[in-house]
Chain A
């Protein structure tokens, strides 16, 4: 499924990184610990987190992640957004909690 389909299905906001809206998604990873994501996330997953700084994008890029979803209406820091645009990795947002958006994403991809 493409990032753009997930945005529609889960009614997510798009903060930046629009060039990656066609990225293919085949799973998700939920964590706020960067080394956990570094060590355990896989290529083409969507990362659900509450971290809003630019190192999130450095990791998303190094790991070839499909997109990042910020939960609880959190907004990306300016430098996070800049890097998202440079890398072409979408930064998405939702008012949902991590549990709710993770559950919905799971149903969508694996349900």
Chain B
């Protein structure tokens, strides 16, 4: 099955909506709780990254009997140095976003830790694409 969500940049009141929907779907499909937990952590972080950094984006989720594949794509500033962005503690989040408790530089490491496969591609001035896979 496939589901798609639109994500609005800057709108923190809706951050987590896609993650919450995907969690519900996976529960209905009786996916193991431990797997669901990991997916929720990774997806929430990726969703919040779009809200915190991009203008808008989409999340496409494909679920088959073996795995979940999540494709996130945003229009935004992009990431100049991906290896730097992957480092624990590195963040370019605004002061406002940090005051909310986001932007601690833990998002991308959290995603990596909680997925089986994780790819990131970015073009400065255009946007960022993330593909993450978790096997059931």
Contacts and interface: CB of A to CB of B under 8 A. Distances in A.
Which of B19, B20, B44 has the largest count of A CB atoms less than 10 A from its CB?
A: B44
Interface string A63-106: 10000000000000001000000000000000000000000000
A38 B44 contact: yes
A62 B20 contact: yes
A53 B100 contact: yes
A33 B13 contact: no
A62 B16 CA distance: 8
- A34, A43, A54, A79 — most chain B CB neighbours (10 Å): A34
Nearest to A61: B20
Contacts of A51: 100-101
Contact of B40 (A56, A62, A79): A62
Contacts of A63: 37, 40
Given A58-B20, A62-B19, A39 B41 contact: yes
Nearest to A39: B110
Binding site secondary structure of chain A? helix
B104 A55 contact: no
A39 B20 contact: no
B102 interface: yes
Interface in A6-53: 32-36, 38-39, 43, 49, 51, 53
Contacts of A39: 41, 106, 110, 113-114
Nearest to B14: A58
A63 B41 CA distance: 8
Interface of B: 12-13, 15-16, 19-20, 23, 37, 40-41, 44-45, 48, 100-102, 104, 106-107, 110, 113-114
23 contacts: A32-B101, A33-B101, A34-B100, A34-B102, A35-B45, A35-B102, A35-B106, A39-B106, A39-B110, A49-B101, A54-B12, A55-B12, A55-B15, A55-B101, A58-B15, A58-B16, A59-B44, A62-B16, A62-B19, A62-B40, A63-B37, A63-B40, A79-B13
